[in-house]
Amino acid sequence: MPKYTFRLNGQPVSVDSWDPAQPLLYALRGPLALHGPKFGCGLGQCGACTVLVDKTATRSCTLPVSRAAGREITTLEGLGTPERPDVVQAAFIAEQAAQCGYCTNGMIVAAKALLARTPKPTVDQIKQALDGNLCRCGTHTRIVRAIQRASEA
């Protein structure tokens, strides 16, 4: 079975896949046993599966594992832990910017990418940056507040 090697949360990893078109998401959630990225639609429409690929927010449900080879992948787990959360994660916790939390992965990862290129975004810039991330519970106002808080930290 073909093997694909990339860096995941700072560590070199390799996964076997019978299908080069297998989305990265299934490799992350299956053999690599990570649960931050979630399956939401498999269509690149909702953002629940977002990961950073070389610091760019990317839909792992539509990115073939073969195209992850040689790249630097960061997932929600790679940002921080419950005990030592990253600045964006800490802001989401402080603002309690989650209800069910299924979309939270995508929100935090998209916010990381936004703040990397725009450290002090306006509310409108935050909303535009998250246009492709859906939240069903209606936690939008808190998520925007959390990203503002992170940008001020």
Partner 1 sequence: MRTDVISRRDVLKAGGALVVSFAFAGVPRDLFAQARRPFDAAQGRPVDSGEVDGLLAIHANGSVTLYTSKVDVGTGIRIALAQMAAEELGVSPARVTVVEGDTATCPDQGGTGGSTGLIRGGTEIRAAAATARRALLQMGATQLNRPVADLTIADGQVQPRNGGAGVAIGSLIGDRLFSLKVDRNAPLTPPSQHAAIGKPLLRPDVPAKCTGRHVYVQDFTLPGMLHGRIVRPPSMGATLVSVDETSLRGIPDVRVVRVENFLAVVAKDEWAAVRAATALKATWRERASLPGHEGLDRFSRSAPLERDQEILNRGNAADVSRRAARTMTATYFWPFQSHASLGPSCAVGDVRADGSATVWTASQGVHGLRGNLSKVFGIPQDKLRVIFLDGSGSYGTNGTDHVAADALLLSKTVGQPVRVQWMRHDEHGWDPKGPQQLLDVRAALDTDGRIVAWETEMWVPNAAPGARALLSADAAGLEQEHGTGSGAITQNGEPPYAVDNVRVVAHLIKDTPLQLSNLRAPGKIANVFAVEGFTDEIAAAQGVDAVEFRLKRLSDPRAIDAITRTASAFKWDTRPSPNPRAKQGPSTSLGTSNVLVGRGIAYMRYKQMENYVAMAMEVAVNPATGHIQVRRVTCAHDCGMVVNPDGLRNQVEGCIVQTLSRALHEEVQFDRSRVTSVDWTTYPILRFPEAPAVDVILIDRPNEPLVGAGEAATAPVAAALANAVFDATGVRLRTVPFTPARVKAALA
- Contact region for partner 1 (CB under 8 A) — 52-60, 66-74, 95-103, 112-120? 95-103
> From residue 108, how far is each of 7, 64, 87, 120, 140 by CA, in Å?
20, 22, 10, 16, 12
CA distance 115 to 120: 7
Q: In the bound complex, what is the minimum distance in angstroms from residue 133's beta carbon to partner 1?
A: 7
**What does 43-81 look like in DSSP terms, one character per residue?**
SSSS-TTEEEETTEEEETTTSBHHHHTTSEEE-HHHH--
Which C-beta is closer to partner 1: that of 12 or that of 43?
43
Residues in 21-40 at the binding interface with partner 1, rule: CB under 8 A: 22-23, 26, 29-30, 34-40
Q: Taking CB under 8 A as the rule, does residue 135 contact partner 1?
A: yes
Among 14, 56, 118, 141, binds partner 1 (CB under 8 A): 141
Q: Kindly state whether residue 140 participates in binding partner 1, applying the rule CB under 8 A.
A: yes
CB 37 within 8 A of CB 25: yes
- In whole angstroms, give the CA distance from residue 111 to residue 90: 12
Q: Which residues of the shown chain bind partner 1 in the complex (CB under 8 A)?
A: 17-19, 22-23, 26, 29-30, 34-43, 45-46, 48, 75-77, 79-82, 85, 89, 92-93, 96, 98-105, 108, 124, 126-128, 130-131, 133-144
